[in-house]
A = this chain, B = another copy of it.
């Protein structure tokens, strides 16, 4: 039986194996992903983002418990800040998830580094598809919401939750521009802190001023204390409300168009570059360009045009 068939039967070990194969860039993994693709599209994908220290992992833990109580299987993709040299991720707070470790209805995957040629959003997309195909009804993507990569990642989610903490002060100012527009639900976690109500008010005002506010869905600001399991039910209700809104308003179609285009174009970019990268290494062109650039005899813009013309017959414009 192929790996894909075993994944479709919900076999956890097969899914874990396929994800490793994807990481290792095995060509066979692409064939398995092709087989899985027709069986994707059922999972409800939730993105959780926010600054470091906002308590995202604890919140994901509690959300997972809430969905498990509803009998739903939950897949989690935790995208950690990358360590470019060692490839190491921040796994400390993943340990908290241990209470789900023996639960076959929960599958957790940490993604630390982007692949050799593709971005981390590419890997995340593949992993979400595997979780979806194996029958996870809810897939949660957790990431740190600052960089463009992270924003690309949460765009794969049907519903994006932005998690803040009270009293971030300057930090809220600093990240709001990028993050206000991507949030469908806002959560002020650690809501027992003094400044919680002010942060809720500040966020509500910013959302009110947001030029994007007439888009049909008005994001709410909720309070949670994830570590004491407070506010989680309300959050689950709000997520469900947003899911229903997507379908009743027809917004789901635009969402799927964008998501499909991203997945397709990302795969195209990765494969295209992989082919050309291999080509110029094998024929010695890469080394020649590098030597030329060292002495500034070769400029990289011209070198690229020559390679595209020679290999692909692409006009030098």
Contacts and interface: CB of A to CB of B under 8 A. Distances in A.
Given A146-B146, A147-B150, A264-B304, A85 B273 contact: no
Interface in A173-192: 173-175, 177-178, 181-182
A207 to B, nearest CB: 14
Contacts of A273: 268-269, 272-273
Nearest to A112: B177
Contacts of A290: 257, 260-261, 264
Interface residues of A, number: 79
Contacts of A260: 290, 293-294, 300
A174 B257 CA distance: 34
A55 B34 CA distance: 48
Copies of this polypeptide in the complex: 2
Interface stretch (A68-76, A99-107, A230-238, A305-313): A305-313
Contact of A178 (B84, B182, B276, B297): B84
Interface string A12-39: 0000000000000001001001100110
A214 B119 CA distance: 30
B52 A174 contact: yes
Contacts of A86: 177, 181, 211-212
A151 to B, nearest CB: 5
Contacts of A80: 177
Interface stretch (A87-95, A216-224, A242-250): A87-95
A239 interface: no
Which of A89, A155, A181 has the most chain B CB within a 10 Å cutoff? A181
Contacts of A314: 275
Interface of A: 27, 30, 33-34, 37-38, 40-41, 51-53, 80-86, 88-90, 92, 114, 119-120, 144, 146-151, 155, 169-171, 173-175, 177-178, 181-182, 211-212, 256-257, 260-261, 263-265, 267-269, 271-273, 275-277, 289-290, 293-294, 296-297, 299-305, 307-308, 312, 314, 317
23 contacts: A37-B299, A38-B299, A40-B296, A53-B170, A80-B177, A81-B146, A81-B175, A81-B177, A84-B151, A85-B212, A86-B181, A114-B148, A144-B174, A147-B149, A148-B149, A263-B300, A264-B290, A268-B277, A268-B307, A269-B273, A272-B272, A272-B273, A275-B312
